[in-house]
Amino acid sequence: MIITKTPFRLSFFGGGTDYPAWYEKNRGAVLSTTINKYCYLSCRYLPPFFKYTHRVVYNSKIEMAKNINSIDHPSVRETMKFLNFHQDSRGIDIHYNADLPAKSGIGSSSSFTVGLLNSLSALKGEMKSKYQLALEAIHIEQNMVKENVGSQDQTAVSFGGLNKIEFGGPQHISVNPITLSGDRLNHLQSHMLLFFTDFSREASKIARGWIKNTQQNERELKTMLAMVDRGVNILNSKNYDLDEFGKLLHESWKIKRTLAPWITTTKIDDIYNEGRRAGAIGGKLLGAGGGGFMLLFARPEKHKKIKERLKKFLCVPIDFDFLGSQIIYYSQPNEDKY
């Protein structure tokens, strides 16, 4: 049996410039971090005592399939095809668990694909580099599943940590860790509040609007791209108070919410505005939009008031993760065939 642990991510700046429709013609970049909330995937060869060949357990659903093509879960089906499991006569047993709900803006679908790719590769005796995990997960999601997704989530959760990730050009993807002193890093983390809005959404449908509007949003996307370097400069310079990071998040959210329909709603705006009135400097709805988690950025002394104002919504404590997708349990697969 193989068990992988893959983090979820928070994206601060540059979202939208990580779609191939943008960065294949223009430079793209994001500033993001992974957090200490994870998805877990266990994989093993399934003993041949059942009427089905493959079993996939996820989100209270159990699939029992006789072949790979009949698996409903698109990422499971296409990842198994990508790794040529159709050439293996043995069945596969896959179980998924997570600390946070799916479809909530924290890169859960890409964490799933990266973790699955990591675990199934290990089951075959292959060890992927973090760069391989990222590129192959991007290929599976964009070209095989044909989801309307960018390239930041797969990269962020494969590598882990606080990074500036650049897209386009000869290297295609470049990951640049942001190095901060322990005090500065802790101070940054202490400003974060993560609230669950109580409603999820289909990110791919909302992202379709982003992609469709890429050309007409060129000015806005270039402005959001420039915010990546501004955000990095704020973090790296002792001359900047972290309030400036929160103000930049606020600027970014004001632009993002105009890029496509359904990114925000009246309810989302109410949550954000209540948080601001209670002392948040800035923030944003995570992911493509429409629901999920909202990040608020505020001085620690303001957190109690903000939590009280938004007490209807679950506040999730978080710290940063720096390890990315890991194999946390490995038991040599039984090579004996029944």
Least Cα distance to 327 among 114, 99, 8 occurs for: 114
The answer to whether 32 touches 165, Cβ cutoff 8 Å, is yes
Q: Give the CATH number of the domain where residue 223 resides.
A: 3.30.70.890
Least Cα distance to 91 among 120, 50, 53, 117 occurs for: 53
74 in any annotated domain: yes
Q: Are residues 188 and 314 in the same domain?
A: yes
Q: Are residues 162 and 276 in the same domain?
A: no
**Collapsed DSSP state (helix, strand, coil) of residue 63:** strand
Q: Are residues 229 and 255 in the same domain?
A: yes
Tens digits of pLDDT across the chain (338 residues): 999 999 999 999 999 999 998 998 889 999 999 999 999 999 999 988 888 999 999 988 999 999 999 999 999 999 999 999 988 888 999 999 999 998 888 999 999 999 999 999 999 999 999 999 999 999 999 999 999 899 999 999 999 999 999 998 766 899 999 999 999 999 999 999 999 998 765 555 555 655 566 677 899 999 999 999 999 999 999 889 999 999 999 999 999 988 877 788 899 999 999 999 999 999 999 986 778 899 999 999 999 999 999 999 999 999 999 999 999 999 876 655 55
pLDDT of residue 204: 53
pLDDT of residue 6: 98
Q: How far apart are CA 75 and CA 115, in angstroms?
A: 11
pLDDT of residue 258: 86
Q: Are residues 195 and 128 in the same domain?
A: no
For 327, counting Cβ atoms within 10 Å of its Cβ (0-12 exposed, 13-18 middle, 19+ buried), the class is middle
Q: Are residues 305 and 273 in the same domain?
A: yes
156 in any annotated domain: yes
Q: Are residues 25 and 172 in the same domain?
A: yes
Q: Are residues 314 and 326 in the same domain?
A: no
pLDDT of residue 337: 57
Q: Give the CATH number of the domain where residue 51 resides.
A: 3.30.230.10
168 in any annotated domain: yes
Least Cα distance to 285 among 300, 273, 266, 268 occurs for: 268
336 in any annotated domain: no
pLDDT of residue 260: 75
273 in any annotated domain: yes
The answer to whether 147 touches 113, Cβ cutoff 8 Å, is no
210 in any annotated domain: yes
Q: How far apart are CA 298 and CA 280, in angstroms?
A: 4
Q: Are residues 157 and 294 in the same domain?
A: no
Q: Are residues 22 and 170 in the same domain?
A: yes
pLDDT of residue 200: 64
pLDDT of residue 206: 55
- Which structural domain, as residue segments, surrounds residue 241? 182-319
The total number of structural domains that make up the chain: 2
Q: Are residues 13 and 116 in the same domain?
A: yes
Q: Are residues 282 and 140 in the same domain?
A: no
pLDDT of residue 259: 83
Q: Are residues 190 and 306 in the same domain?
A: yes
- CA-based torsion, 221, 19, 245, 178: positive or negative: negative
pLDDT of residue 209: 56
338 in any annotated domain: no
Lookup: tokens for 238 = 């002792």
